[in-house]
Amino acid sequence: MSSYYLRTESIKYDEILSFSVTNDSDKSIIAALNSPEPCLIEGSRGTGKSFLMRVAELELEMTKSPVLAVFVSFNISSLISTKDPLQFYHWMLAKTLKTLINKLRKKGLLISPHSANLLSNDESDEGQNVENDLKSIVKAYEASYKGKQSVKTDTLPDIEDVKEAIELICLDNSLERMFFFFDEAAHVFRPEQQRQFFSLYKDLRSPYITCNAAIYPGVTYFGDSFEPTHDCIFKKLERNIKDAEYLNYFKEIVFKQADDNTKTTIENQKELFNTLALCCGGNPRMLLKTLQDLPKFNTLSINQLIKDFYRGSIWTEHTELGEKYKGHKVLIDWGRDFLERTVIPAIESYNESRKTKGVEESSIYFWIHKDSPESVKEALRLLTYTGVIRKIDSSIRATRSELGARYEVKYGCIIALKSSPMNMSMPFFNSLSIKKFPEFGKNHSAYIDIKNASGIDLDDDQYKKALLNMLKKPIGVLQLLTEWQKMKLISAGINTIEELHNKTEESLIKEIYLVGPVRARIMKNAATAELLEYLSG
């Protein structure tokens, strides 16, 4: 089978649009990202948040409008660990300004001495000096996990000076506005980082600045001063498997990367492909990964892959969160147990009872009472983050007119339990009804073991211990690296996550046979993105 790009970071910037497939929902999100209003995109891992922001950035670059688009990735936030209570705010500000200055230089745009002076507290009026100051601050923070240095932020400007400088830069260069695209907004298990991110996000608002960001469902903490429904356009990136264009949309995504033989095979065996596309529950990365791991495109192989991935791998990934972050382990383990031992059996029992009665209605949905314990809701939020379930809506009336939230279990997790998922998939799919679901009331017996569990905030000591432990892990845990990439890295003596993180593109070129500048950059970007996603949860 074909080999696929599983992450946006692995795709060359100038090739992004050639891989783009957009439906009406995607187009609406891109339009929101390119509007003057700030926008947040919420979506589980692998749904394509980064990709859509890159498409929006490129569309802005291609228009004749006098605007500047600046893409800033905060994926390395997991490595920041200093005694500075505003460490994340300061690092973000320095990284954002450094990226902005770099983008201005690439575009040949002017930074006046006055603007440069505003961007630095050391009264420098040279853009290069300001960039060097910012670069040293960024590097110091990103090496702070080693515990060997404190970070001097004396040269960082005040936020009001930053906004004034950006206004002057816009006026000097006849720009109407700057668009900042913040990717991997903050470490998902460090709520204080997220609160500081949204402080900066709100502080930067001005007639000359629009901030956009990608966030995860269930694990995002906005803080007291930020309200997503009032302070931005809030968009959810999710795809309903019941939409009329769903299957064709995912076929187009695959065909953008597949070779001719794979395309022909898929066209000749559409039902096999459709089952894999439905199993991923709207997650492009899951579909591409399962296709890439498929030894043969036939019923036997697909049945086995569905069982292995949706009974095993998807649950293992969720459980590993608890192994990485011990403070979350109780909630994470309970959430998995609740889904596997209570919810899914209830869904199966519900489906069997409807079938016995001769009613052609099936379900992959369940309902949770709005007054269920907060610990239950927290465990479910963690399951939405890893994408095992999807929250559909919040105020649905069930039996006796009680209100609650409705969730969807990943389609693949339901049909993987059958002896032959392929044979029952399409009849099962055609009988799905979103109006039918088992209900779990506010005092359900399954809640007893988790009812009084505490929240999921980690203190710094817990977090640093978890981080250092993960950095020692072998690179084999990075699932999205190809086997070829892993083999080449190991052959060059790069065996652990920390060793990989510390390598530069130049050292990869020098140390790995047959790796040139382009391939080294792709490998470094893919490896960095994957290892930092692993570190951040």
Q: What is the pLDDT of residues 179-226, one digit of tens each?
A: 999 997 766 567 777 888 898 999 999 999 999 999 888 777 787 778
Can you say whether the dihedral through the CA atoms of 174, 177, 178, 179 is positive or negative?
negative
Whole-number pLDDT of residue 523 = 63
Phi-psi category of residue 262: left, alpha or beta, with phi > 0 → left and psi -120 to 50 → alpha: alpha
Give the H or E element holding residue 70: strand 67-73
458 pLDDT more than 60? no
The predicted pLDDT at position 268 comes to 96
408 in helix, strand or coil? strand
Q: Are 366 and 440 in contact (CB under 8 A)?
A: yes
Give the E-state strand segments of 184-306 in sequence order. 209-215, 233-236
What average pLDDT does range 420-429 have in this prediction? 94
Q: Is the confidence at residue 525, as pLDDT, over 80?
A: no
Within 387-504, where are the H helices?
411-415, 421-430, 460-471, 483-491, 497-501
Q: Which of 214-228, 300-314, 504-518 has the highest mean pLDDT?
A: 300-314
Instruction: Give the pLDDT band of residue 516 (cuts 50, 70, 90).
Output: low
CA distance 226 to 214: 15
Tell me what pLDDT residue 189 has.
63
Q: What is the pLDDT of residue 537?
A: 52
Domains and CATH numbers, the chain: 24-236 (3.40.50), 298-447 (no CATH), 472-536 (1.10.150.20)
pLDDT band, residue 148 (cuts 50/70/90): low
Give the position of tokens 């891109």: 30
The mean pLDDT value of the chain amounts to 86
pTM of the model: 0.86
Contacts of 414 (CB under 8 A, 6+ apart): 344, 347, 348, 364, 428
pLDDT band at 322 (very low <50, low <70, confident <90, very high): confident
Residue found by looking up tokens 């590993």 in the block: 320
Confidence of residue 388 (pLDDT cuts 50, 70, 90): very high
The residue that leads in pLDDT, 213 or 527, is 213
Better-scored residue on pLDDT, 411 or 505: 411
- Residue 373 burial (CB count, 10 A): 18
Q: Which of 402, 428, 445 shows the shortest CA–CA distance to 348? A: 428
Q: Quick check: helix, strand or coil at residue 407?
A: strand
pLDDT of residue 113 exceeding 60: yes
User: Confidence class of residue 472 from pLDDT cuts 50, 70 and 90?
Assistant: confident
Share of the chain above pLDDT 70, in %: 88
Band the pLDDT of 328: cuts 50, 70, 90.
confident
> Sorting pLDDT into bands at 50, 70 and 90, what band is 326?
low
Is the confidence at residue 534, as pLDDT, over 70? Answer: no
How confident is the model over 501-521, as a mean pLDDT?
70
> Mind spelling out the 3-state secondary structure of 17-58?
HHHCCCCHHHHHHHHHHCCCCCEEEECCCCCCHHHHHHHHHH
CA distance 245 to 508: 43
Residue 519 confidence (pLDDT): 64
